Amino acid sequence: MYETWEELENSIVNCNKCKLCKTRQNIVFGTGNRNSKIMFIGEGPGADEDMQGEPFVGRAGKLMNMAFGIIGIRREEVYIANIVKCRPPANRNPEDDEASACLNYLRNQVMLIKPKIIVLLGSVALKNILGKEYGITASRGKWFEKKEIKYIPTWHPAALLRDETKKADFIKDLKLVVEELNKEN
């Protein structure tokens, strides 16, 4: 494990632990407040993220930013990362070996941030963090605790683009995060 952000980020820049390195434009390390009490974890970068090197900057990211505005969170206040740091081709889900290759980077980010709450965005994040036995439909909006961190799975913002009816659940889940954070303070 790396002790500093600089060491961790430098270790990822030239990563070739899986086949995703062959097609990436940029690694997508993560962004936001490195001292945040809230961390969001998605599945992997899309085309816009791969081009810009930053998570959630495409259509799904704009939707997430809008939801943040509704509940009174500023994007700069939270930390956002993904299960994998490189874009899977054609925006497919990361394969198990790709996720496994990147998980220690993500674990190291969590260790450096020390968040109180982690929001798992979608099934890929849920299954890779809490376990393959969890399903997003049954788990979303529920709290789980592991190693003194509270986790709440919710829909991935891209799912909201495909199914508008999920937006209300997404906002409701984010409101639960704010309520929980206010209890902590």
CATH number listed for the domain at residues 5-184: 3.40.470.10
Whether 79 contacts 70, CB under 8 Å:
no
DSSP state of 91: G
Q: How high is the pLDDT of residue 171?
A: 97
- What is the pLDDT, as a whole number, of residue 98? 98
Containing 48, the helix (H) or strand (E) segment is helix 47-52
- Give the model's pLDDT for residue 9: 93
Give residue 40's pLDDT.
Answer: 98
Q: Residue 103's pLDDT is what?
A: 97
Nearest to 130 by CA among 113, 147, 116: 147
Q: At what angle do helices 96-113 and 5-13 cross, to 10 degrees?
A: 160
What's the confidence (pLDDT) of residue 1?
Answer: 87
The label of the residue with tokens 């939707």 reads: 63
**Residue with token string 């961790």:** 8
CB-based burial label for 10 (10 Å; 0-12, 13-18, 19+): exposed
Q: What is the mean pLDDT of each run of 10 residues along the chain (185 residues)?
A: 94 94 96 97 96 95 96 96 97 96 97 98 98 98 97 97 96 97 85
Contact (CB, 8 A) for 86 and 21:
yes
Q: In the prediction, which pLDDT does 76 show?
A: 96
Give the list of residues 6+ apart from residue 68 with CB closer than 8 angstroms, or none.
74, 75, 78, 174
| Burial state string for 13-29 with b = 16 or more CB within 10 A and e = fewer than 16 | eebebbebeeebebbbb
Q: Are 149 and 116 in contact (CB under 8 A)?
A: yes
Give the pLDDT of residue 20: 97
- Predicted local distance difference test score (pLDDT) of residue 35: 97
Q: What's the pLDDT score for residue 184?
A: 77
Q: Where are the domains of the chain?
A: 5-184
